[in-house]
Structure 1
Amino acid sequence: MIIGKVIGNVVSTSKAEKLQGKKLLIVQPLDLVNIEPDGKPVVAIDTVGSGLEEVVMVVSGSSARQTQITNGTPVDAAIIGIIDTIEIEGKRTFEKS
């Protein structure tokens, strides 16, 4: 599972039939201690109604196709949750404002 920040979206008018009507977002993985960018951004299908600047949970591979929205859909990453807080060793490193 990846924790990341939604930094943009992808618009595609021509795409696979099972992707029609699905929201594709660009997620920047984050280091959980300092909440700074960590790695290359990924494109993920949104299953929870997340938006720009939100910190989200992303699953990839076959796990990305296990939601009602993504079942049978050709995706490799899916946003499955919006993060409210992150706490590591008793220290809160992120809190949704």
Structure 2
Amino acid sequence: MFIAKVTGSVVATQKVDSMRGHKLLVVEPYRLDEKKRGSMVTTGRTFIAVDTLGSGEGDFVLICQGSSARLTPETKDLPIDAVVIGIVDSVHIEKLNVYDRNRE
């Protein structure tokens, strides 16, 4: 599981039947900044994740990847590798508030 920021969406009008109606998001994993431990920085990678919660561009989300992505009731029969399993409200590292959704 990791934290990622939603940076966009993907539209695919032709896809397998089981994927119809599922929102696809472009997500970019984030990590703790090694130099300034009070902030998070991008890893420079991107993934496509299925969204089952209604998250949107700019949200930080929790992502589950690999076979674990198919363990939710909504995704158990889908051919996916990544799923949004939570929308992040805040991140605290070593007593520092690194991210707060209400302040962004």
Number of positions where the alignment pairs a residue of Structure 1 with one of Structure 2: 97
Q: Percent identity?
A: 41
The reply on whether 1:27 has 2:7 as its aligned counterpart is no
Partner of 1:36: 41
CA–CA distance in 1 between the matches of 2:68 and 2:52?
Answer: 13
Q: Distance in 1 between matches of 2:26 and 2:32?
A: 18
- The equivalent of 1:13 in structure 2 is 13
Task: State TM-score, norm by structure 2.
Answer: 0.89
User: 1:9-54, CA deviations, whole angstroms, 9 ceiling, x for partnerless residues?
Assistant: 0000000111000000000101134222113110000011111100
Matches of residues 72-91 of structure 1 in structure 2 within 5 Å? 72-91=77-96
Please list the CA deviations of residues 38-92 of structure 1 after superposition, one character each: whole Å capped at 9, or x if unmatched. Answer: 1311000001111110000000011100112111100000000000000011111
| Map of 1:2 onto structure 2 | 2
Gaps of 5+ in 2: 34-38
- The 4+ residue runs of structure 1 with deviation greater than 2 A are none
1:90 and 1:44 map into 2 onto residues whose CA distance is 30
Taking only aligned residues, the RMSD between alpha carbons, in angstroms, comes to 0.9
State whether residues 3 and 32 of structure 1, in contact with CA within 8 Å, keep that contact through their aligned partners in structure 2: no
Give 1:62's aligned amino acid.
S
Q: Tell me the TM-score normalized by structure 1.
A: 0.95
Classify the secondary structure of the residue corresponding to 1:36.
strand
